Chain A
Amino acid sequence: MVPLQWYIWLSVALFMTGVFGFLTRRSIIMMFLSIEVMLNAVNLSLVSFAHFLNDLRGEVLALFVIAVAASEAAIGLAILIALFRNRATAQIEEVKEMKG
């Protein structure tokens, strides 16, 4: 049998892949994809805890995470379309109106 730790470590490694992508990619689309990877890593840990603790609340929480991820993707991509219409770029370094 596979212990709980393996699932947690896989989930953490997946999350860190997403963190690396989010910190280093220049394209806004790739940053959104990294966010999706991170949310999936969290879902994996929720489902494995639900399985190993005999408690289905983890799976219910994972469903809510999926719903929030769907709305986040819709809003984020709509912002990206509005940005592309005004600036004709999807590179994060070109967007500096806010002086961040």
Chain B
Amino acid sequence: MNPYLFGYLGAAILALSALSLTRKNPVHAVLYMIVMFFHLAVLYLGLGAEFLAAVQIIVYAGAILVLFLFVIMVLNIKEEMEGERFSGGWPFGIAIASGLFLLVVLITGNIVPGQQGPYTPGVIAAQTNTKLVGTLLYTQYIFPFEIASLILLVAVVGAIVLAKKKLR
């Protein structure tokens, strides 16, 4: 990937997420987050993960954040927007976040990539990324895939049970 493109995408992702998490109005925060997810999808495209970029836009921007917007509209939180937006410990939060960031940067400064896998760019170009991911998902990872579907089923049932007014 072009370093300038990476610089723009990285700066935009960080700025948009910081903007999003400091907004007072949750609707504005979700809209900033959607733009951030689109930038992240472009970054995935640059890393050769086409299927994941599509899933990022469809599932994250299309489903999860719309669910957030839906709940914000249902709850009608007017008074939430008038109070203080941060709790008292925000210097503590900045200290913890920047300390952990420095720690990980120090550790990963001279990281050496481990053993290379079999999916070189030539193999991926011959078979396409989507087909290879699908093949892995339905052969080697079929059992985790079924567990993921079970988790989604539990989430559907649990969400209905929790949000329903009265269970008969």
Q: A79 vs B97: C-alpha distance in the bound complex, in angstroms?
A: 27
A70 pairs with B152, CB closer than 8 A:
yes
Given A14-B14, A57-B136, residue A19 in contact with residue B100 (CB < 8 A): yes
B40 touches A40 (CB 8 A): yes
Chain A 49-72, CB-CB to B under 8 Å as 1, else 0, gives: 011111111011011101111111
Number of A-B residue pairs at CB separation under 8 A: 226
Proximity bits, A67-91, B CB within 8 Å = 1, else 0: 1111111110111111011000111
Give the A interface residue count (CB, 8 A). 71
Query: Hey, which chain B residues are within 8 Å of A47, CB to CB?
Result: 44, 47, 49, 52
In the assembled complex, the CB of A41 is this many whole angstroms from the nearest CB of chain B, namely 9
Across-interface contacts of B67 in A (CB, < 8 A): 73-74, 77
Nearest Cβ distance between residue A69 and chain B, in whole angstroms? Answer: 7
User: How far is the CB of A63 from the nearest CB of chain B, in Å?
Assistant: 7
Q: B162 contacts which of A18, A34, A51, A81 (Cβ < 8 Å)?
A: A81
Are B20 and A67 neighbours in the complex by a CB distance under 8 Å? no
Chain B residue with Cβ nearest A69: B64
